[in-house]
Amino acid sequence: MKLEVLRGRLDSLVLAVLEDGPLHGYGIIAALRSRSGGALDLPSGTIYPALRRLERAGFVDSKWSEVDGRKRRTYSLTPRGRTELTSERDTWREFASIVGGVLGTG
């Protein structure tokens, strides 16, 4: 899938993946790949800026941990992030309904 298609949706997708529980960056990448059937195979250079943006907005928190002797930053959804995810889902449903009606697929 082309990254242009994701523009404006990546943050919502990351929030949705974190809804299941805390993950480190590569775990988020793997979850997106798995949940999309391989269609979303995103580079880390795409995910980490999104995570920083979401953290600045207060939608995710992060903390450092050590796993197998390696330091990893783990990200988790905040209550504000859960509210944002609910809002994004509502917006997406409305948008998909409108576009589907226009394209004749709804």
pLDDT single digits (tens) 16-56? 999 999 999 999 999 999 999 998 888 888 899 999 999 99
pLDDT in tens, 60-80: 999 998 878 889 999 999 999
What CATH number does the domain containing 94 carry?
1.10.10.10
- Residue 25 is predicted with a pLDDT of 92
**85 pLDDT more than 50:** yes
* Residue numbers of the domain that contains 73: 3-103
CB distance 76 to 61 below 8 Å = yes
Q: What is the pTM of this model?
A: 0.85
Number of domains in the chain: 1
- Residue 1 is predicted with a pLDDT of 47
pLDDT in tens, 4-22: 556 678 999 999 999 999 9
Q: What confidence tier does 3 reach under pLDDT thresholds 50, 70, 90?
A: low
- CA dist., res. 81 & res. 71, Å (int): 25
- Residue 8 is predicted with a pLDDT of 72
What is each CA distance from 24 to 7, 9, 11, 69, 77, in whole angstroms? 22, 20, 15, 15, 12
